[in-house]
């Protein structure tokens, strides 16, 4: 077998190559370095709030000050400058603030007195972003400009800038519906809901794990609904920390709309009264061609009560009279409420009766949901 002919390099040639490479590496690392500010790409949903915009910094030297501008489409996005939050890398920064001098512009400044950000990479600030319900679907640029970061002596680092691409999607939502159950109860139903009315493509396959406290909840069965009854494969498997549900079309798809795609039948043990999270994990939605469809995951709050909440006057109906009575208890104008009245009025289970319980009972009456915990 023929091989390539290697031409030997003289000793001095090797030495010159070694010195040149080492000097180049020294210049790169110690003079120019590998420094950058990056807006991380993200997927948002039209009409959504609470989206996270993350700015990442890569720095090979200590950093004591940062300044940057972020520009974006103000007709589509809104950023509250007060939503800027520190990260593990910037937790010790003494000055940490953002302003909104004009629509579509956020100006961020961070500085430290006596401390600095050590060399490394990772997020330095996060903002909360809202997306208009009128925003057109597509990709939008969040651009960095006027960016600077400097060492403790005030020397600026040359650095690269990487703008972020934010993709706006239709608001497909997969969620566990909030529900109230009672201690030692059987045959409760917890719904897994899907809202895909705004999704162009049909969803023909879904896989989702739901994590919950298995010492309090025992899943007896998982059943399809009218929207998923034509799927060829619909199954679930028990896990130590929850269940896994899989459904596949093989020619059939989930009927487009809103509401349940699976009903989870649950028994409840003698767990303490409180709120328990049912968290969606490792979920995937796909169309008939196997293409992944992006969506929002919304975890569920399942309230375990020892007795019903909201019916403060114990007349069998939750109505305006219960709201009035709860307000009187909250402001101290109802003398000596009984223990059962206090328990019925404290629907968020925080141990006291206040305005949050009033709002919760109103939500129960109007059908907006259960009385949720303060967090």
For the stretch 55-71, pLDDT in tens is 999 999 999 999 999 99
Architecture in CATH for domain 173-305: Sandwich (2.60)
Q: What is the average pLDDT value for the chain, to the nearest integer?
A: 86
Task: Output the pLDDT for position 7.
Answer: 37
Distance CA 27, CA 12 (A): 22
Give every CB contact of residue 30 below 8 A, 6+ residues apart in sequence.
Answer: none
In tens, the pLDDT along 322-367 reads: 999 999 999 999 888 999 999 899 988 888 899 888 988 888 888 7
Residue ranges per domain, the chain? 36-169, 173-305, 307-375
Name the CATH code of domain 307-375 (choices 1.10.10.10, 1.10.1330.10, 3.40.50.11290, 3.10.310.10). 1.10.1330.10
Task: Output the pLDDT for position 308.
Answer: 82
Least confident of 24-38, 95-109, 123-137, 238-252: 24-38
With H, G, I as helix, E, B as strand and everything else as coil, classify residue 30.
Answer: helix
Task: Output the pLDDT for position 107.
Answer: 95
Distance of CA 105 to the CA centre of its chain: 24
Q: Residue 23 — very low, low, confident or very high, per pLDDT cuts 50/70/90? A: very low
Task: Output the pLDDT for position 81.
Answer: 93
262: tokens are 């699976």
Q: Residue 1 — very low, low, confident or very high, per pLDDT cuts 50/70/90? A: very low
Average pLDDT over residues 126-152: 93
Task: Output the pLDDT for position 24.
Answer: 38
- HSE of 309 in the Cβ direction (CA atoms, 13 Å)? 30
In tens, the pLDDT along 73-112 reads: 999 999 999 999 999 999 999 889 999 999 999 999 999 8
Q: Report the share of the chain in percent with pLDDT over 90.
A: 59
Q: Residue 343's beta-bridge partner residues? A: none
Distance CA 116, CA 91 (A): 10
Q: Residue 118 — very low, low, confident or very high, per pLDDT cuts 50/70/90? A: very high
Task: Output the pLDDT for position 170.
Answer: 78
Task: Output the pLDDT for position 224.
Answer: 94
Distance CA 119, CA 149 (A): 12
Q: Residue 40: phi, psi to the nearest 5?
A: -75, 140
Is the pLDDT score of 214 beyond 80? yes
Shared fold status for 36-169 and 307-375: no
Pairing of strands 188-195, 260-268: antiparallel
Is the pLDDT score of 29 beyond 80? no
Q: Residue 197 — very low, low, confident or very high, per pLDDT cuts 50/70/90? A: confident
Is the pLDDT score of 149 beyond 50? yes
Task: Output the pLDDT for position 372.
Answer: 67
Distance CA 214, CA 362 (A): 31
**DSSP per residue, 152-200:** TTSPBPP-EEE-EEEEEE---EEEEPPEEEETT--SEEEEEEEE-TT-S
In tens, the pLDDT along 267-281 reads: 999 898 889 999 999
Task: Please state the pTM of the whole predicted model.
Answer: 0.59
Distance CA 159, CA 192 (A): 47
Question: What DSSP element (H or E) covers 322?
Answer: helix 320-330
Distance CA 48, CA 28 (A): 43
Task: Output the pLDDT for position 238.
Answer: 85
Q: What is the largest CA-CA distance in the chain?
A: 101
Domain 36-169 = CATH 2.60.40.680 = yes
Q: Residue 116 — very low, low, confident or very high, per pLDDT cuts 50/70/90? A: very high
Average pLDDT over residues 30-54: 82
């Amino acid at each position: 077998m023929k091989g390539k002919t290697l031409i030997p390099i003289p000793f001095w040639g090797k030495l010159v190559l070694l010195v040149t490479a080492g000097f180049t590496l020294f210049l790169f690392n110690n003079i120019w370095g590998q420094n950058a500010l990056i807006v991380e790409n993200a997927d948002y949903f039209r009409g959504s709030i609470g989206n996270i915009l993350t700015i990442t910094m890569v720095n090979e030297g200590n950093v004591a000050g940062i300044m940057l501008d972020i520009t974006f489409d103000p007709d589509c996005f809104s950023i509250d400058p007060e939503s800027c939050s520190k990260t593990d890398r910037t937790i010790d920064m003494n000055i940490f603030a953002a302003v909104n001098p004009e629509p579509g512009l956020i100006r961020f400044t961070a500085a430290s007195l006596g401390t600095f950000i050590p060399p490394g990479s990772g997020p330095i600030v996060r903002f909360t972003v809202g997306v208009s319900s009128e925003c057109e679907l597509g990709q939008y640029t969040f651009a960095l400009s006027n960016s600077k970061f400097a060492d403790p002596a005030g020397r600026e680092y040359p650095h690269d800038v990487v703008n972020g691409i934010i993709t706006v999607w239709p608001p497909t939502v997969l969620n566990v519906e909030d529900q109230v159950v009672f201690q030692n109860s059987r045959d409760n139903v917890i719904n897994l809901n899907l809202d895909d009315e705004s999704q162009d493509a049909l969803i023909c396959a879904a896989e989702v794990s739901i994590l919950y406290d298995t010492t309090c909840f025992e899943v007896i069965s998982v059943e399809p609904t009218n929207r998923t009854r034509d799927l060829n494969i619909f199954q679930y498997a028990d896990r130590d920390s929850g269940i896994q549900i899989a459904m596949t079309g093989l020619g059939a798809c989930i009927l487009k709309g809103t509401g349940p795609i699976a009903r989870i039948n649950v028994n409840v043990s003698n767990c303490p009264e409180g709120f328990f999270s049912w968290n969606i994990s490792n979920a995937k939605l796909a169309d008939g061609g196997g293409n992944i469809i992006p969506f929002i995951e919304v975890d569920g709050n399942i309230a375990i009560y020892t007795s019903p909440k909201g019916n403060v006057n114990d007349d069998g109906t939750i109505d305006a009279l219960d709201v009035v009575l709860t307000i009187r208890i909250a402001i101290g104008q109802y003398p000596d409420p009984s223990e059962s009245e206090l328990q019925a009025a404290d629907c968020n289970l925080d141990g006291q009766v206040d305005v949050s319980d009033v709002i919760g009972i109103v939500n129960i009456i109007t059908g907006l949901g259960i009385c949720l915990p303060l967090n």
